[in-house]
Amino acid sequence: MASAHEESHRTQHTGSIRAAVLGANDGIVSTASLIVGVAAAGTDGRGVLVAGIAGLVSGAMSMAAGEYVSVKSQEDTEQADLVLERRALSENWHGELEELAEIYQDRGLSQELSQEVARQLMDHDALGAHARDEIGITQELSARPFQAAWWSAITFAAGAGIPVAMVPMLPLSTLTVAVPSVAMIALAVLGAIAARAGGARLLPASLRVCFWGALAMAATAVIGKLCAVT
Ligand SMILES: [Zn+2]
């Protein structure tokens, strides 16, 4: 459809940093909370480890499935738009040329130039020109469901791996303190990375992420304590 643009690649790059940070955040918060809850309930080390690994795998799968479905439905919408556009081009070439020329006039070209630009672009790749400038679909930005699904799963698993790896390395009695502490540090660092990538201020972004993480871990710790078998 369209050739690759530098700008689009950079936009996509920033987007994937943000998606990666979100995935890792989810992995840390949900898996650390799970481990804290199960450990607070007095489960043995093996049980805590199994719960952590199960949480990592189920979370990664569910992230992948959710992302696939959401991106796929976006792709379906784009495809439906392209079908409509292809039909319009075959039935009403001249009207479509006028339509494209008007879009370029709105962007500041003169009537004469806009019609020349529209004509040349449509001779080159009519559907591509309409997809890009009328509907706003570019090849670089168009949905890639499998890539998005894998990326979510991998980043979730990477985040979840931090608390899971701590379970076999530390004494069971220290987990309810050590896991939340390390999770909070990791969340603060990720919050700062996300803020940097998005051009936002570092401290508020980190505090916000840490607040929700602390809330989640406190909630499961309380539930674990309540369910504790003595
Ligand atoms: Zn059109």
**DSSP-derived secondary structure for 180-211:** HHHHHHHHHHHHHHHHHHHT--HHHHHHHHHH
Q: Could you tell me the end-to-end alpha-carbon distance of the chain, in angstroms, rounded to an integer?
A: 65
Q: How many domains does the chain have?
A: 1
CA within 13 Å, CB half, 198: 19
Whole-number Å distance, alpha carbon 117 to ligand 1 midpoint, is 14
Residue 20 lies in a domain: yes
Which tens digit of pLDDT belongs to each residue from 13-33? 566 777 788 899 999 999 999
Whole-number Å distance, alpha carbon 220 to ligand 1 midpoint, is 53
Residue 121 lies in a domain: yes
From residue 123, alpha-carbon distances to 97, 109, 129, 140, 205 in Å are 10, 19, 10, 22, 49
Per-chain mean pLDDT for the chain: 89
Band of pLDDT at residue 72, cut at 50, 70 and 90: confident
CA within 13 Å, CB half, 216: 22
Residue 8 lies in a domain: no
Which tens digit of pLDDT belongs to each residue from 102-154? 999 999 999 999 999 999 999 999 999 999 999 888 766 566 788 889 999 99
Residue 33 lies in a domain: yes
Whole-number Å distance, alpha carbon 71 to ligand 1 midpoint, is 24
Range of 211's domain?
14-227
**Pairwise pLDDT comparison (5 vs 96), residue with the higher score:** 96
Read off the tokens for 42. 């007095």
pLDDT, residue 159, reads 97
Distance CA 182, CA 176 (A): 11
The residue length of the chain stands at 230
Task: Report residues near ion ligand 1: CB below 5 Å.
Answer: 96, 130, 134
Band of pLDDT at residue 3, cut at 50, 70 and 90: very low
pTM above 0.85, yes or no: no
User: Considering the chain, what percentage of its residues have pLDDT values greater than 90?
Assistant: 68
Residue 9 lies in a domain: no
Residue 7 lies in a domain: no
Check residue 142 and report its DSSP letter. S
Distance CA 162, CA 221 (A): 18
pLDDT, residue 1, reads 42
pLDDT, residue 4, reads 46
Task: Give the dihedral sign, CA 148/152/155/161.
Answer: negative
Whole-number Å distance, alpha carbon 77 to ligand 1 midpoint, is 16
